[in-house]
């Protein structure tokens, strides 16, 4: 039995107060001995092993001690070998020496006094006494429940001490307590983690609500700006056309339709409505916006250009107009058409 397998010996409750029991006289063992054994009125416990009571005690399956009037171990039955095979060495040893003492001097003294008082009560009151303590026999320790009973042999009284081994039971209790403590800590950790997750969810919910509010505000602002852009697009006094990155016309404003008669559907696949770009060496208008940009000589350093060209009207004839070409988002081009004589100043 290892010391680590048992509760701390430094505990203030090594021995518990025995319960109150009805008064009982000492058990008289005189009939178990021949008259010559106790004729002098005294009895040597060392001779008990050869007597009937000694053989009876040796036959018991649980450890039993006989404590003499000097509080010393006078007899230990064979079942004490369950605690230690060297149990015979404790004969003549004060019983108090079998109880390991705490490291603290004051508490050790208190425990010794409790042990002495326990045996004294068994002698003086002749009532059964019950207590619990850790016993150590030749470096082997057990947690025991002690049953003390006063016995008389001749004119002398002794204490019969029956040892009930509670080590396995105590181990199970300690193991259960340790498991309970582990579960308690796990539950505490789970609760703490749950609180953290709850707080994180709350924080994320607040953040999401804030982001949603911002998004709604942004959407509302974009909607207003889109409305303003549409209003400006429709009221612009110049013709406007947006060229997509595939070279097709994506959108025209009302003024463009008024000037040339074309709608977007009329210009799909049509490259003949615009010609005569006044820039020397101009090529026919191609199908991709990058090539359109090449035609208008738009570069990374130059994102707008002005010139004049001929626009063939949907209803016949052609108009010479001033054209301003600007780079727009998403690789698109914005073309602004002004009738000659109505052109607006542009910074190239």
**pLDDT for residue 185:** 92
> CATH assignment of 233-339, given 3.30.470.10, 3.40.50.450, 3.30.450.20, 3.40.50.300?
3.30.450.20
For residue 208, what are the CA distances in angstroms to 199, 200, 217? Answer: 14, 12, 14
pLDDT, tens digit, 9 for 90 and up, residues 57-68: 888 999 999 999
Instruction: Name the helix (H) or strand (E) containing 309.
Output: strand 304-312
3-class SS at 112?
helix
Domains 3-165 and 233-339 share a fold: yes
pLDDT class for 275, splitting at 50, 70, 90? low
**pLDDT for residue 198:** 93
pLDDT, tens digit, 9 for 90 and up, residues 175-230: 999 999 999 999 999 999 999 999 999 999 999 999 999 999 888 888 888 888 88
Q: Would you say residue 248 has pLDDT above 90? A: no
**pLDDT for residue 179:** 92
Q: Tokens representing 2?
A: 């290892």
Query: Beta partners for 275?
Result: 310
Q: What is the full DSSP assignment across 212-277?
A: HHHHHHHHHHHHHHHHHHHHHHHH-SSEEEEE-TTS-EEEE-HHHHHHH---GGGGTT--SSEE--
Q: How many Å apart are CA 274 and CA 313, to the nearest integer?
A: 9
Q: Tokens representing 345?
A: 């100043």
**pLDDT for residue 22:** 52
Q: Would you say residue 10 has pLDDT above 50? A: no
**pLDDT for residue 190:** 92
The answer to pTM > 0.85 is: no
**pLDDT for residue 276:** 57
3-class SS at 75?
strand
Q: How many Å apart are CA 312 and CA 260, to the nearest integer?
A: 7
**pLDDT for residue 15:** 47
Contact (CB, 8 A) for 75 and 54: yes
Tell me how many degrees the CA angle 61-62-66 measures, rounded to the nearest 5: 120
Q: Give the chain's mean pLDDT.
A: 79
pLDDT class for 295, splitting at 50, 70, 90? low
> CATH assignment of 3-165, given 1.10.10.60, 3.30.420.10, 3.30.450.20, 2.40.340.10?
3.30.450.20
Domain ranges of the chain: 3-165, 172-209, 233-339
**Which of 158, 103, 163 lies closest to 134, judged by CA?**
163
Q: How many Å apart are CA 218 and CA 118, to the nearest integer?
A: 86
Instruction: Name the helix (H) or strand (E) containing 73.
Output: strand 73-76
Q: How many Å apart are CA 292 and CA 243, to the nearest integer?
A: 9
Using left for φ > 0, alpha for ψ between -120 and 50, and beta otherwise, residue 297 falls in left
Q: Tokens representing 154?
A: 């001749």
Average pLDDT over residues 69-91: 91
């Amino acid at each position: 039995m290892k010391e680590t397998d048992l509760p701390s010996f430094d505990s203030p409750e090594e021995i518990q107060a025995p319960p109150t029991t009805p008064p009982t006289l000492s058990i008289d063992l005189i009939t178990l001995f021949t008259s010559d054994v106790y004729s002098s009125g005294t009895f040597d416990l060392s001779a008990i092993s050869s007597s009937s009571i000694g053989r009876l005690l040796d036959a018991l399956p649980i450890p039993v001690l006989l404590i003499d009037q000097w509080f010393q171990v006078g007899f230990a039955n064979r079942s004490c070998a369950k605690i230690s095979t060297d149990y015979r060495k404790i004969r003549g040893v004060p019983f108090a020496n079998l109880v390991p003492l705490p490291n603290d001097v004051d508490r050790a003294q208190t425990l010794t006094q409790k042990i002495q008082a326990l045996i004294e009560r068994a002698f003086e009151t002749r009532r059964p006494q019950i207590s619990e303590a850790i016993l150590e026999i030749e470096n082997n320790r057990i947690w025991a429940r002690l049953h003390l009973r006063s016995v008389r042999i001749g004119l002398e009284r002794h204490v019969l001490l029956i040892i009930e081994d509670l080590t396995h039971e105590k181990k199970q209790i300690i193991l259960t307590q340790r498991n309970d403590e582990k579960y308690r800590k796990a539950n505490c950790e789970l609760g703490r983690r749950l609180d953290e997750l709850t707080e994180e969810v709350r924080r994320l919910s607040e953040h999401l609500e804030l982001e949603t509010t911002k998004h709604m505000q942004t959407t509302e602002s974009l909607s207003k700006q889109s409305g303003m852009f549409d209003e400006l697009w429709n009221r612009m006094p110049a013709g406007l056309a947006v060229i997509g990155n595939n070279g097709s016309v994506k959108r025209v404003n009302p003024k463009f339709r008024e000037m040339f008669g074309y709608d977007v559907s009329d210009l799909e696949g049509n490259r003949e409505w615009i010609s005569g770009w006044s820039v020397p060496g101009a090529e026919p208008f191609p199908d991709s916006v990058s090539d359109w940009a090449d035609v208008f000589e738009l570069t990374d350093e130059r994102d707008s250009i002005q010139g004049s060209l001929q626009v063939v009207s949907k209803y016949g004839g052609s108009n010479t107009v001033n054209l301003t070409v600007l780079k727009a988002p998403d690789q698109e081009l914005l073309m602004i058409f002004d009738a000659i004589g109505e052109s607006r100043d542009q910074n190239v």
